């Protein structure tokens, strides 16, 4: 047992000692270099192997329960890299209404799961959120009340919290100004950049917004960040965090899902006051549908203004635009919305499939036509799965959920990459993809929670193989990650299994499985060892996996981590055990509904 403990200490704790330092170094290097085809270009990922997997999984999605054969053959090509795990890949979607967002108890949990990046301040909250007052604009798009902001989830507390984990993706307010009577202000976003990234001696003026509010200069906000709280709070003490050094937040998204602002019909799920709302909310759709101030071209024009203002403060930041994932031709399930009083999900949409089905492609084409030269990444919300007819459409269809990473979700990524390529040409090579909300459809009941954990492990690695730079599980205290008492759920263990497999900047390898019911992912670690993840998606049947590794010499002794129905975690961590008989050709048994990670050292 001693050798196992020593191995695990080397695996996790030894890496953790230098984790933050390494994270910052890798971040600097990767941002300074041109991203390679293997790690950043979705349009370059359509290899024969990827197409074969998509074809298999598309068939599997419509063919009922996953069924794994008694024997599955897996081949790992140890000398062929597909991509790398970027420093921001393991992320979480967080919301400023979360009263436990900045709990100190969360920090060691996130570190143990390898999470480095948190999105803030949330989804639709973002387009009414004002970072400098920690207060919202009035929500005018829908008839539900504003979400209350948690006092300790303000931007100052969040930055202090995030610094101990890694970094953040900030979604700035595109939808509304301080008074809620006009669209988001580029200078307000620029002041946020100044607060997070500015230097105290930078006197560059920011200017006034369209309502006449003076946003001072960079030094004003940076000095506020560096200051100690005042004895008599003037309302800005939450911004005084005694942090002179800039936080160097690199990724900034301009608005949340702006394409749901009402331009394509309905009252609009997303706040966007670039066009005024009528006094009678029942008239929203009539006044907003096809309103030119809400169009893709209008967003593109405004994005350029945001980019100009924000990059004048910090030219190193990377800016993103929201795209609708339905560019692949799939129905957008994001038309469901959560009632903030009852907590139930209801379908508010009145969009016509016949009239509006192509609006996702229309939005992407219109926005990219305006922004190709200025945008650095696109952001997508992706919720997977469906509900079952047997449950009267209430229970999560686990089979469709588990089939989705190599099926519908892979198709969506390919379609997004194709859209960027067609619109931006050679510039597409510099535009990355972030999945800023990821999880199972949130309104469905989950009968077997472990399926969510298996899905989480599979989808993070699949997206990393496609070069996605960031994936944010939705959300920190929901969707099976942590509960309100910060107890880990199945998604937490699925992501922790990814971190057991590999660290950021490790290479993902080409790997294949003879059965779509068993996923395989493989990585070459920095020390030359090989990690392999196997996921048995069959809820009832065990299998034997015959593994063959090519182009690499490996040792016979390693470690094995298991998570599944018959392998529950011990406490907050997945515990590995020593395993013999490995090398480059061996077989292992796998239980139903189980994910297994094998770590094999290089030959001595």
pLDDT at residue 112 above 60? Answer: yes
pLDDT interval class at 6 (50, 70, 90) = very low
Identify whether the C-beta of residue 202 lies closer than 8 Å to the C-beta of residue 222. yes
Kind plus residue range of the DSSP H or E element containing 531: strand 530-536
Average pLDDT over residues 448-462: 97
How confident is the model over 167-199, as pLDDT tens digits? 999 999 999 999 999 999 999 999 999 999 999
What is the pLDDT, as a whole number, of residue 339?
A: 52
* Residue 264 reports pLDDT greater than 60: yes
* pLDDT per residue as tens digits for the range 283-299: 888 999 999 999 999 99
Which two tokens mark 283? Answer: 């008239």
pLDDT bracket for residue 272 (50, 70, 90) = very high
Cβ-in-10-Å burial (0-12, 13-18, 19+) of 490 comes to buried
The 10s digit of each residue's pLDDT in 328-367 is 554 434 344 455 445 554 544 444 444 444 789 999 999 9
Query: pLDDT digits over 496-517, tens only?
Result: 999 999 999 999 999 999 999 9
- The SS3 call for residue 545 is strand
* CA 246/CA 239 separation, integer angstroms: 13
| Residue spans per domain, the chain | 64-82+509-600, 87-169+250-501
Instruction: Output the six-digit token pair for 258.
Output: 């702006």
What is the CATH T-level fold of the domain 87-169+250-501, as seen in this structure?
Answer: TIM Barrel (3.20.20)
CB distance 328 to 384 below 8 Å: no
Q: State residue 267's pLDDT score.
A: 72
Biggest CA pair distance of the chain: 75
The overall average pLDDT reported for the chain is 87
pTM: 0.89
Contacts of 177 (CB under 8 A, 6+ apart): 137, 183, 184, 185, 188, 209, 210, 211, 273
pLDDT for 143:
47
Higher pLDDT pick, 48 / 377 = 377
Of 306, 415, 313, the C-alpha closest to 371 is: 306
The dihedral built from the CA positions of residue 502, 503, 507 and 510, taken in this order, carries a sign that is positive
Domain 64-82+509-600 carries which CATH code?
2.60.40.1180
Q: Note the pLDDT tens digit of each residue in 413-454.
A: 999 999 999 999 999 999 999 999 999 999 899 999 999 999
Residue 42 pLDDT greater than 90, yes or no: no
Bridge-partner residues for 318, per DSSP? 251
Average pLDDT over residues 577-592: 97
User: Higher-confidence residue: 267 or 487?
Assistant: 487
Decide: 473 and 439 in contact? Cβ < 8 Å. yes
Phi/psi at 366 (nearest 5 deg)? -70, -40
Q: Which run of H or E residues covers position 548?
A: strand 543-550
């Amino acid at each position: 047992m001693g050798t196992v403990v020593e191995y695990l200490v080397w695996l996790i704790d030894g890496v953790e000692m230098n984790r933050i330092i390494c994270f910052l170094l890798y971040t600097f290097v990767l941002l300074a270099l041109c991203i390679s085809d293997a790690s950043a270009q979705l349009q370059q990922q359509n290899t024969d192997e990827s197409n074969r997997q998509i074809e298999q999984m598309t068939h599997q999605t419509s063919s009922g329960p996953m069924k794994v054969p008694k024997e599955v053959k897996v081949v790992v090509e140890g000398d062929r890299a597909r991509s790398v795990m970027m420093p921001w890949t393991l992320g979480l979607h967080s919301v400023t209404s979360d009263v436990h967002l900045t709990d100190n108890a969360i920090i060691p949990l996130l570190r143990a799961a390898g999470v480095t990046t948190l999105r803030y301040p949330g989804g639709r909250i973002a387009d009414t959120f004002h970072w400098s007052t920690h207060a919202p604009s009035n929500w005018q798009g829908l008839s539900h009340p504003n979400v209350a902001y948690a006092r300790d989830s303000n931007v100052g507390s969040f930055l202090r919290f995030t610094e101990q984990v890694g970094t953040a993706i900030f979604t700035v307010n595109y939808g509304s100004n301080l008074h809620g009577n006009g669209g988001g202000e580029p200078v307000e976003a620029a002041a946020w950049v100044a607060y997070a990234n500015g230097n105290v001696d930078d006197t560059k003026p920011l200017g006034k917004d369209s309502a006449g509010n003076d946003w001072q200069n960079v030094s004003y906000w940076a000095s506020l960040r560096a200051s100690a709280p005042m004895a008599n709070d003037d309302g800005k003490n939450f911004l005084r965090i005694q942090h002179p050094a800039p936080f160097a937040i690199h990724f900034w998204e301009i608005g949340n899902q702006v394409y749901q602002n009402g331009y394509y019909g309905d009252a609009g799920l997303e706040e966007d006051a670039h066009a005024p709302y009528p006094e009678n909310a029942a008239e929203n759709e009539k006044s907003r549908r096809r309103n030119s101030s809400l169009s893709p071209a209008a967003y593109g024009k405004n994005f350029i203004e945001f980019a100009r203002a924000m990059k004048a403060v910090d030219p190193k930041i990377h800016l993103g635009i929201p795209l609708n994932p339905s560019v692949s031709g799939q129905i957008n399930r994001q038309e469901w919305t959560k009632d903030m009083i009852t907590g139930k999900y209801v379908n508010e949409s009145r969009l016509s499939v016949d009239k509006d089905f192509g609006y996702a492609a229309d939005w992407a084409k219109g926005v990219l036509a305006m922004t190709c030269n200025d945008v650095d990444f696109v952001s997508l919300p992706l919720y997977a799965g469906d509900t079952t007819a047997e449950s009267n459409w209430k229970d999560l269809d686990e089979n469709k959920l588990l089939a989705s990473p190599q099926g519908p979700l892979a198709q969506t990524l390919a379609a997004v990459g194709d859209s960027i390529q067609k619109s931006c040409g050679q510039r597409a090579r510099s535009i990355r993809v972030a999945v800023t909300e990821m999880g199972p459809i949130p309104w469905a009941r989950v009968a077997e929670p472990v399926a969510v954990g298996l899905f989480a492990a599979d989808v993070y690695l699949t997206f990393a193989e496609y070069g996605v730079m960031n994936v944010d599980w939705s959300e920190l205290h929901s969707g099976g990650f942590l509960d309100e008492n910060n107890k880990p759920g199945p998604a937490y263990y699925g992501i922790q299994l990814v971190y057991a497999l590999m660290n950021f900047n490790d290479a993902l390898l080409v790997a294949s499985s003879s059965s779509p019911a068993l996923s395989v992912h493989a990585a070459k670690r920095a020390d030359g060892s090989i990690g392999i993840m196997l996921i048995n998606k069959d809820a009832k049947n065990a299998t034997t996996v015959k593994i063959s590794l090519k182009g690499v010499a490996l040792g016979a002794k390693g470690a094995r981590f298991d998570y599944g129905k018959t392998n529950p975690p011990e406490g907050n961590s997945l515990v590995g055990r020593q395993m013999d008989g490995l090398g480059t050709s061996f077989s292992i048994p796998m239980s139903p509904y189980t994910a297994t990670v094998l770590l094999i050292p290089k030959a001595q």
